[in-house]
Amino acid sequence: MREEITKAKRIIFKFGTNILRNDDGEISLSRIYSFIEALSNLHKQGKEIIVVTSGAVGLGAKKCGISISESIQLKQACAAIGQTQLMSIYEDGFDKYGIKVAQVLLTEDDFSQRARYLSLRNTLNQLTEMRVIPIINQNDTVSTYGLEYYKDVVEVNFADNDKLSALLASEMQADLLVILSDINGLYTKNPKENKDAEFIPVVNRVTDEIQKMGTDASSGGRGGMKTKLEAAKVVTRAGGCLLIANGKEANIITKIFNEENVGTIFLPADKLSGKKHWIAYATNVMGTLTVNEGAKKAIIETGSSLLAKGITGVNFNFKKGDIVGIVDSEGSEFARGMVNYDFDECEKLMGAHSDMFIERIGYKTYDEIIHRDNIVIL
């Protein structure tokens, strides 16, 4: 099992905010340079390395002497200030090993708009072919989703770098995603609060029971075990492995690739096709369709399309081609799909047979509100 890690060809490393800083909140140059040295060794072995890094907001805030709990405008300004410092550290470090790096800043739209999603993949593939290491971060200067949540309106594809790294791992068909945090891996409970918490070295499948073990972020970060478990589901359903390990442990990357028993490894699950994986995880969810029990059963048990007669509620102003959540009568989301009609049209069509479409909205382009080929069961 651990030997599969050493065989990984394309690897994404995600460095969390709390492992890039020391206990005083200052940038931990010694730790970052130790990561760079380890990654350089892997790079020289022929592995394709991509880095997802946090820390820009915290670095900028520290430099300006302000609290990152202040206004969103200040956070965005701090991101702009801190990003230049963060990138210069990586560039200087890798340059000492003769390795070129490239900065890539991403927002939600780079994933939710499929043309940009595919263009990003092409660019990153080109960089890795050139033996360049992409250094990737969320573009907090312009991306308000990552700094201020809008989940009462839409569900965004990522609002933290755990999910961002997972989306990249699936998009780039990475063999392995390594998330380095300030915790050894997954425990049955939060070990910082519960002395009887048991460590879990291997997870075969991210079940509901596993996801309940997640906790929220520690001070200074936006992730936490909850988002790491969400990332694990994204990566494993794309056919990759994910490893969560403690980035504060000395020589952690070397230990990982020496097959030492560090961290928690999540094994691949049933693989979704590229398009269905994008529908399920990579794009923003712009609204919901509530369906009756008959429609839910047909979608789950027989893989049916979603017909208008099974819809009992429509929420938010989505457009044709958007991704929406499909929820049951209790409000639980069990599937996602790409809609064939706009929000106002779905409102007029819900409960109707397809023969009534022209009467209700003046035309009919599809018999289905969502075709089965564009539905993913969660």
Q: For residues 343 and 76, which has the higher predicted lDDT (pLDDT)?
A: 343
pLDDT at 160: 81
Q: Give the distance, in angstroms, between the CA of residue 2 and the centroid of all CA atoms in the same chain.
A: 24
Q: Are residues 214 and 263 in the same domain?
A: yes
**With bands split at pLDDT 50, 70 and 90, how would you rate the model's confidence at 284?**
confident
pLDDT at 280: 87
Query: Is pLDDT at 281 greater than 90 in this prediction?
Result: no
**With bands split at pLDDT 50, 70 and 90, how would you rate the model's confidence at 74?**
confident
* Mean pLDDT estimate for the chain: 90
Choosing from 257, 276, 295, the residue where a domain stops is 276
Q: Are residues 328 and 245 in the same domain?
A: no
**With bands split at pLDDT 50, 70 and 90, how would you rate the model's confidence at 9?**
very high
What's the structural domain count of the chain? 2
pLDDT at 282: 78
pLDDT at 218: 54
Residues 6+ apart with CB under 8 A from 364: 354, 357, 358
The letter for the amino acid at 194 is N
Nearest CA to 204 among 259, 269, 263, 277? 269
β-bridge pairing 176-181 and 10-15: parallel
Q: Are residues 88 and 237 in the same domain?
A: yes
pLDDT at 156: 53
pLDDT at 152: 46
Q: Name the maximum alpha-carbon separation found in the chain.
A: 70
Q: Are residues 205 and 63 in the same domain?
A: yes
Q: Are residues 232 and 292 in the same domain?
A: no
Q: Are residues 190 and 298 in the same domain?
A: no
Q: Are residues 94 and 239 in the same domain?
A: yes
Q: In what order do the strands lie in the sheet with 333-338?
A: 311-315, 285-291, 323-327, 333-338, 375-377
**Spatial contact of 107 and 114, defined as CB atoms under 8 Å apart:** no
The letter for the amino acid at 87 is M
Q: What is the mean pLDDT of residues 258-271?
A: 91
Count of CB atoms situated within 10 Å of the CB of 321: 13
Query: Is pLDDT at 151 greater than 50 in this prediction?
Result: no
DSSP string, 200-257: E-EESS--HHHHTT---PPTT-S--HHHHHHHHHHHHTTT-EEEEEETTSTTHHHHHH
pLDDT at 274: 82
β-bridge pairing 241-246 and 264-266: antiparallel
Choosing from 215, 244, 276, the residue where a domain stops is 276
pLDDT at 351: 97
Q: What is the mean pLDDT of residues 354-369?
A: 97
Residues 6+ apart with CB under 8 A from 108: 143, 145, 156, 157, 158, 284
Tell me 355's DSSP state. G
Q: What is the mean pLDDT of residues 223-230?
A: 86
**Spatial contact of 375 and 305, defined as CB atoms under 8 Å apart:** yes
Whichever domain contains 307, its CATH number is 2.30.130.10
Tokens of 130: 């050139």
**Relative orientation angle of helices 72-95 and 56-64, to the nearest 10 degrees:** 110
**Spatial contact of 325 and 287, defined as CB atoms under 8 Å apart:** yes
Query: Is pLDDT at 220 greater than 90 in this prediction?
Result: no
pLDDT at 157: 56
**Spatial contact of 220 and 18, defined as CB atoms under 8 Å apart:** yes
pLDDT at 148: 45
pLDDT at 75: 85
**Spatial contact of 166 and 231, defined as CB atoms under 8 Å apart:** yes
Q: Which domain holds residue 22?
A: 3-276
Residues 6+ apart with CB under 8 A from 296: 326, 328, 334
**Which of 72-81, 313-322, 329-338 is predicted least confidently?**
72-81
Choosing from 233, 258, 276, the residue where a domain stops is 276
Query: Is pLDDT at 304 greater than 90 in this prediction?
Result: yes
Query: Is pLDDT at 70 greater than 90 in this prediction?
Result: no
Query: Is pLDDT at 42 greater than 90 in this prediction?
Result: yes
Q: Are residues 245 and 361 in the same domain?
A: no
Whichever domain contains 32, its CATH number is 3.40.1160.10
Q: Are residues 194 and 341 in the same domain?
A: no
Q: What is the mean pLDDT of residues 168-174?
A: 93
Q: Are residues 242 and 215 in the same domain?
A: yes
Q: Are residues 62 and 95 in the same domain?
A: yes
Q: Are residues 201 and 250 in the same domain?
A: yes
**Pairwise CA distance, residues 287 & 284, whole Å:** 9
**Spatial contact of 68 and 75, defined as CB atoms under 8 Å apart:** yes
**Pairwise CA distance, residues 122 & 264, whole Å:** 31
CA gyration radius, the chain: 22
